[in-house]
Amino acid sequence: MSKMKMLPVQLSLNSLNPGIWSDVLWRCPPAPSSQLAELKTQLPPSLPSDPRLWSREDVLVFLRFCVREFDLPKLDFDLFQMNGKALCLLTRADFGHRCPGAGDVLHNVLQMLIIESHMMQWHLPNSPVTPTSRYPLSPHSHPPTPTWPPLNAPPESSPFHSTPHGLAGHHFMAPNSVTLSPPPSVDSQASSPPQAPYQNGGGGAPGAGAVANGGAGATATSVGTTSSSSNPTSSSASSTGSNGSQPNIMPMKGVSSASSNHSDSEEEYSESKLPPAPLYSAGSPPSTPILKDIKPNWTQQLTNSFVNSWSQQQQQQQQQQQQQQQQQQAAAVAAAAAAAQAQQQQQQMQQQQLPQKLTLDNTAGPVLAPAGGSISAPTTPSYMYKAKREFFPENSEPNTNGRLLWDFLQQLLNDRNQKYSDLIAWKCRDTGVFKIVDPAGLAKLWGIQKNHLSMNYDKMSRALRYYYRVNILRKVQGERHCYQFLRNPTELKNIKNISLLRQSTPSTGSGASSMPQAPGSPAAVQNWNSQQQQQQQSQQQQQQSPQRPASRNGPMSLPAVAAVAAAAAAAYGPPPTSPLFMHAINGAFHYLSAAAAGPPPNSPALNTPSAIGGPDKFQFHPLKLESNGSGSGSESAGEDLKPTDLSVSSKNNNSASNEDCYPLIRNADGLTTIKLIRHNNDHQGGAPSPGERSPKPDDQQSAAAAGITSNASSPRPMDQASSEQALPVPMDSDCNGGESEDSFRHMRQ
DNA sequence: TACCCGGAAGCTAA
DNA sequence: CTTAGCTTCCGGGT
């Protein structure tokens, strides 16, 4: 990831191909002005929407319009004797030279129009856009984030139950909208992936978006309608289709819309050569003869293409871009043709629906207003410009880009817009407890991310279990699909090799400095919270940064994945697994539409408390230990949050004994906390050898010997000693309150 | 039946 | 070539 190159914000757009432009613009959006918002509508009708198509006269018309509209100083029109294409190649500096007093304005306005035209191209057959393009070029760049509450999920919306309202907005990005949603999280930190429309989709997606469209109109609402309809696919539905083979075909509604959004991708899309391997041979419904041939591979193809294009762009950047453009366009045309049919209808719908508002407004502000609307995101340019600096964070944490499962989950969970709330959501963010709402859907998305299309929950869960060994995750006993992060993303990112975690026992500080503190420790919890907050902030920044394109199988950024899905859908029709697909699409749109600036939407499925209480505010409550474990077997505790054995320990012979246990504990109030349980005999040496991948059979025996029950439910007994050591964990208000808590609450006796 | 666990082998990218 | 991080299978338990 560090490999990615970042384009200087100011870089001239000339050489950039459209896709790049989008990125650049996205990063460096023109100043938002209300005027711009209306710009489009006020432009002389005779002007082609795509500035590149302007004739000399059109250029002059445009200039005059700008002068008039923005009260710009008089321009020397002779300096603009060029057609639209040439005009588009002018850099900000070029504009500045030609018209010192108005160069920036002209440049910005033009960029807006370019972006808009790109967006619109999505709808057009010949201009497939790669979503990736819109992602920031720099991997680490972080959009300046306003300080919004980290988790803030607005209390109002409940993630899981949130209504679909925002659908439309999420789903479709208004072509006009300038606001490109932040790139998918580059890092886990950047976790805001695109919203999945599907949630909203009416269906029952639980978390649907909390995003209120209300916001600037941004929302692209337009299409939204469709999407919503589409979606009825509830998450559950998606789950059913677990594997790609499913023939279920979703209406493209959402999809098409999605496709529309991507503007840039044409080139990229074209660039990549479509790999032959069909992903969903059977299932995919061919809508068109052409599609038929192509469909099977769509995902992969798209993925690859996007990825490739993206990477190329970043690497080659300006120099080769023009060439690429041409090539890509050519390719795009072909690709577009296939998609054309599917898209046409939707395009129409979208266009009709797209309110003019959408057009430029977005630039000004976050596209999607938080449901609560309470959060103020930096809207404009200033915001965007600020981000510039952040594009080159050298010190930034390692960027995993969601390539790692934990990071992927983090990204989804931390999505500001709760776009993935129907797939996965926090139950208690402060303690890292989350629930996989739609296992099949999540697995599917993960599969797309990793290019393992046969991924299913069973496989993914195996990967999750793998994390038990390294204390990254643990299962929340008694609740299906519920897991808990034992280490926060920051920690994880700083750990070069996760395998090392196996050795590191959280308990004593002795662990390598690099090692994070014990997961369950209060400190860890605090970190969890604080880091979560930081992540969110950083996420915004990162969103703008491009990720390193994945290599063939490389994972794509979430947004990219979503974009791919969306693009694929647009082009080929719904993939076999519609729900997921829809989800991805929605997400893609979301990204596109989501204002980078937008504050976190609040739909917090599981609201994070931290926001409420204050991030760093911790309250310690007396804990009531649940008995689980070894002896006490009291099942009374119920299924609730029993401490789960950190598998790690159990596997390693002695290690088990050595390691600390961080079971979840509910206090009398039903608060969930994590307790650090340390085994008496922990000795450092016990750590398993790092290299040891596969636990030995005898592990369990040894574990048992250590007094650990092999039983998953309570690996480590919580003995008195442990109880004594139990550390209170900060409680988040969220954990207590809010729906998120419900699950916990109902569990309590 | 679905979920969950974890061993074992294999794959891929770095 | 080695290693990390899964992925894929699988048998078994709840």
Q: Encoding tokens for residue A323?
A: 């060439």
pLDDT of res. A424: 92
| B chain positions with any atom within 7 Å of a protein CB | 3-10, 12-14
Q: How far is CA A151 from CA A146, A423, A531, A598, in A?
A: 13, 18, 10, 14
pLDDT less than 70: residues of chain A: 1-45, 112, 114-401, 496-749
CATH of the domain at A445: 1.10.10.10
Q: Which residues touch strand B (CB under 7 A)?
A: A 239, 439, 457-458, 461-462, 464-465, 468, 475, 479-482, 550-554, 644-645, 647, 650-651, 693-697, 699-700, 710, 712, 715
pLDDT of res. A459: 93
Q: Which domain holds residue A68?
A: 32-121
CATH of the domain at A112: 1.10.150.50
Please indicate, yes or no, if residue A257 is contained in any of the structural domains. Answer: no
In Å, what is the separation between the CA of A711 and the C1' of C13? 10
Question: Residue A222 and residue A226: Cα distance in Å, rounded?
Answer: 8
In this complex, the residue with its CA at the shortest distance from the C1' of nucleotide C2 is: A691
Q: Which of A121, A137, A168 is the last residue of a domain?
A: A121
Split into its structural domains, chain A has a count of 2
Burial A574-608 (b: 16+ CB within 10 A, else e): bbbbbbbbbbbbbbbbbbbbbbbbbbbbbbbbbbb
3-state secondary structure of A641: coil
pLDDT of res. A529: 56
* Phi, psi (degrees; rounded to nearest 5) at A662: -125, 75
pLDDT of res. A240: 34
- The closest of A364, A362, A356, A367 to A33, measured between CA atoms, is A364
Q: Which of A499, A531, A557 is the last residue of a domain?
A: A499
Please indicate, yes or no, if residue A131 is contained in any of the structural domains. Answer: no
Give the pLDDT confidence of A191-221 residue by residue, as tens digits: 333 333 333 333 333 333 333 333 333 333 3
Any strand C atom closer than 7 Å to A690 CB: yes
In the 150-179 stretch of chain A, whose C-beta falls under 7 Å of nucleic acid strand C? none
- The closest of A382, A364, A362, A360 to A146, measured between CA atoms, is A382
Q: Is A352 exposed, middle or buried (0-12, 13-18, 19+ CB in 10 A)?
A: exposed
pLDDT of res. A496: 64
Burial A545-566 (b: 16+ CB within 10 A, else e): bbbbbbeeebbbbbbbbbbbbb
User: Which residues fall within 8 angstroms of residue A718, CB to CB, at 6 or more apart?
Assistant: A625, A626, A627, A628, A629, A630, A632, A643, A661, A663, A675, A677, A726
What is residue A484's DSSP assignment?
Answer: E
In Å, what is the separation between the CA of A496 and the C1' of C7? 21
In Å, what is the separation between the CA of A499 and the C1' of C5? 9
Please indicate, yes or no, if residue A83 is contained in any of the structural domains. Answer: yes
| Residue A433, H or E segment | strand A433-436
- The closest of A684, A558, A676 to A191, measured between CA atoms, is A558
Please indicate, yes or no, if residue A598 is contained in any of the structural domains. Answer: no
Please indicate, yes or no, if residue A687 is contained in any of the structural domains. Answer: no
In A589-668 the beta strands, taken as DSSP E runs, fall at 664-666
Q: Encoding tokens for residue A156?
A: 């109002």
Please indicate, yes or no, if residue A74 is contained in any of the structural domains. Answer: yes
* Sole residue written with tokens 């490109």: A180
Q: Which of A64, A98, A121 is the last residue of a domain?
A: A121
pLDDT of res. A442: 92
* Sole residue written with tokens 């509209």: A69
Considering the entire predicted model, what is its pTM? Answer: 0.39
Nearest nt to the CA of A551 via C1' is: B13
* Phi, psi (degrees; rounded to nearest 5) at A243: -105, 150
Three-state SS string over A572-587 comes to HCCCCCHHHHHHHHHH
User: Which residues fall within 8 angstroms of residue A293, CB to CB, at 6 or more apart?
Assistant: none
In this complex, the residue with its CA at the shortest distance from the C1' of nucleotide C9 is: A459
Cβ(A225)–Cβ(A354) under 8 Å?
A: no
Q: Encoding tokens for residue A371?
A: 């449901």
Please indicate, yes or no, if residue A606 is contained in any of the structural domains. Answer: no
Please indicate, yes or no, if residue A163 is contained in any of the structural domains. Answer: no
Question: Residue A222 and residue A559: Cα distance in Å, rounded?
Answer: 21
Q: Encoding tokens for residue A303?
A: 């993925």
